[in-house]
Structure 1
Amino acid sequence: MAASATTRAQIVEAADRLFYEQGFEHTSFTAIAEAVGISRGNFYYHFRTKDEILAAVIDSRVAATRAMLRRWAAETPDPAQRIRLFIHIVLTNGADIRAFGCPVGTLTAELAKLRHPARPEAVAVFTLFRAWLADQFAALGHEPGAADAKALHVLAFSQGVAALANAFGEEDFVHREVARLERWLADSPARRTGATP
């Protein structure tokens, strides 16, 4: 049973990486099975359709995001510093983002183009980040509406920087934009609304 669970986890991990690097539509069962080093028969024991794998990948991403947010909360009690940890994702994952874009944004966009029914589930990671960031801004003293607006602003920053980093591959640009948003955050006191960089 433990070996079966391990194999399933390896399939999900390989599929997650391949969906990110190649796209969901262009990733085949064969490619995933080869990445894990298993036969197609063993593969079908765990997943019968690519949509089943997609659901497992999305669940895995949501779980990993929740774990990361819990880790950030444990690392610092300061809401502003927690927001900075999110802002720095584009630096922490810089090489992958320059090569493939944001894993959340690219999957959501691809599923939208395919009119795939799993798109709402794929948006769950964005929704988690939005609610978490809004909670941090609320903890800084912002009213709920303003806190959510600021959360969306930070999300928009991360997506815009990821898209342009992927398009141009310019690491210096990412560092400049991160510093710019950090200045905005430092100059964005509680209950001040409508501020943009």
Structure 2
Amino acid sequence: MAKKGDERREAIAAAAADLFWRCSFAGSSIGDIARAAGVPQGNMFYYYKTKADIALAVADIFLSETSALVAEAANVSTEAEERCRFLLRRLQQSNRSRMERGCPISLAVRDFRDGAPDASARAAESFTRLMEFLAGEFGRSGQRPSQALSHARSLIAEWQGGIALAHAFSDMTILAESFRRMDATLGRAFSGNQPG
């Protein structure tokens, strides 16, 4: 019975993640989530007490997926540059959906802030996880910790800015250009020519 309950909770969280991405947190009701998950609305209370609890479960999905991606990148090679390039290639695989709908993580951070602040903070941890990984890899190339973190932040800012503009203009070229700049930044960082 517990396994079925866990499966229902996962189905609800997955349905909510998609709805929040397409329709926003405020624009998705408990009834909408229940219908999308195939759960009677009256039973939702058994799985999640509040909509904020559902938002927290969605943020946990983002954090879990990001952590898995970082772990995969960490194990792909013994070379720091190759680990970073692998991470960028994996992020790039979602370009189409990001261009069409924006970044689900940044939308969650923004949309959850008022009604589910704990979920907003949890979703933001996904960005922290990415930046910590990149900063660690830059540190292996000999950069000072503050410099490594600054370069990691600039990569994530480039990615998120590219998503925002590509989504605003429905133009995949903008996001492709962002990834080319990110790739060039990595090349400079690992060749020792990165401006300080």
Q: TM-score, normalised by structure 1?
A: 0.89
Alpha-carbon distance, 1:191 to partner = 5.9
The equivalent of 2:50 in structure 1 is 49
Q: Does residue 13 in structure 1 map to residue 14 in structure 2?
A: yes
1:1-197 alignment runs, 5 A limit = 1-112=2-113, 114=114, 116-118=116-118, 119-189=120-190, 194=195
Structure 1 gaps, min length 5: none
User: Could you tell me how far apart the structure 1 residues matched to 2:85 and 2:22 are?
Assistant: 27
Which protein has the bigger helix share?
2
Q: Give, as a single letter, the amino acid of the residue that structure 1 aligns with 2:123.
A: A
Evaluate the alpha carbon distance shift between residue 28 and residue 126 of structure 1 in structure 2; reply closer, same or farther with a 3 A threshold. Answer: same
Identity of matched residues, % = 26
Q: Distance in 2 between matches of 1:3 and 1:48?
A: 18
| CA RMSD in angstroms, aligned pairs only | 1.9
1:188 deviation in Å? 2.4
My pick for the range that moved more, 172-181 or 123-132, is: 172-181
Q: Is the 8 A contact 2:77 2:83 kept in 1?
A: yes
- With 5-14 and 37-46 compared, the bigger mean Cα shift is at 37-46
Equivalent pair of 1:102/1:159 in contact (CA under 8 Å): yes
Which runs of 5 or more residues in structure 2 are unaligned? none
Change (3 A) 1:157 1:122: same
TM-score by length of 2: 0.90
Residue type of the alignment partner of 2:100: A
| Aligned-partner SS, 1:142 | coil
Provide the C-alpha distance between the structure 2 equivalents of 1:44 and 1:115, rounded to a whole number of angstroms. Answer: 18
Tell whether the 8 Å contact from 2:188 to 2:194 is kept in structure 1 after alignment: no
AA partner of residue 134 (structure 1): A
User: In 2, distance between residues paired with 1:164 and 1:90?
Assistant: 16
Partner amino acid, structure 2, of 1:162: I
Question: How many aligned positions are there?
Answer: 194
Q: Is the CA contact (8 Å cut-off) linking 2:63 and 2:122 kept in structure 1?
A: no
Do the aligned partners of residues 51 and 3 (structure 1) sit closer, same or farther apart at CA in structure 2, a change above 3 Å counting? same
Q: Which runs of 4+ in 1 moved over 4 A?
A: 190-193
Letter in 2 for 1:91: Q
Between stretches 125-134 and 73-82, larger displacement belongs to 73-82
